[in-house]
A = this chain, B = another copy of it.
Amino acid sequence: MKAVVSGLRERKRRQTRDRLTEAGMTLFLAQGFEATTLDQIAAAADISRRSFFHHFASKEDLVFAWQDSFCLALLDALVLRPADERPIDAAINALIAAVGDFDRDQAEALTRFVEETPALRDREQVKYALMEQALAEALGQRPGATADSLEIRLVAMVVIGAMRIAGENWRRAGDRARPDIYVRRVFDTLRAAVAEES
Residues of chain A having any CB pair with chain B under 8 Å: 86-89, 122-123, 125-126, 128-129, 150-151, 153-155, 157-158, 161-162, 164-165, 168-169, 186, 189-197
Residues from chain B with Cβ under 8 Å of A154 in the complex? 161-162, 165, 186, 189-190, 193
| Contacts A154-B193, A157-B165 supplied; 20 other A-B pairs, CB < 8 Å | A86-B193, A86-B197, A88-B194, A125-B125, A125-B126, A126-B126, A150-B186, A151-B192, A151-B193, A153-B168, A157-B161, A157-B162, A157-B164, A158-B161, A158-B194, A190-B194, A191-B194, A191-B195, A191-B196, A194-B194
Residues from chain B with Cβ under 8 Å of A197 in the complex? 86, 89
* CB<8 Å pairs between A and B, sample of 12: A86-B197, A88-B194, A122-B126, A126-B126, A151-B189, A153-B169, A154-B162, A154-B165, A154-B189, A158-B158, A190-B194, A191-B195
Rounded to whole angstroms, the CA-CA distance of A161 and B136 in the bound complex is 14
A169 touches B193 (CB 8 A): no
Rounded to whole angstroms, the CA-CA distance of A164 and B169 in the bound complex is 23
Rounded to whole angstroms, the CA-CA distance of A189 and B168 in the bound complex is 27
Residues from chain B with Cβ under 8 Å of A196 in the complex? 191
Q: Tell me the minimal C-beta distance from A162 to chain B in angstroms.
A: 7
Residue among A89, A150, A162 facing the most chain B CB atoms (10 A cut-off): A150
Residues from chain B with Cβ under 8 Å of A162 in the complex? 154, 157
Rounded to whole angstroms, the CA-CA distance of A153 and B193 in the bound complex is 10
Residues from chain B with Cβ under 8 Å of A165 in the complex? 150, 153-154, 157
Rounded to whole angstroms, the CA-CA distance of A153 and B86 in the bound complex is 25
Partner of A193, one of B128, B129, B155, B168: B155
Q: Which residue of B lies closest to A190 (CB)?
A: B154
Residues from chain B with Cβ under 8 Å of A169 in the complex? 150, 153
Q: Which residue of B lies closest to A129 (CB)?
A: B125
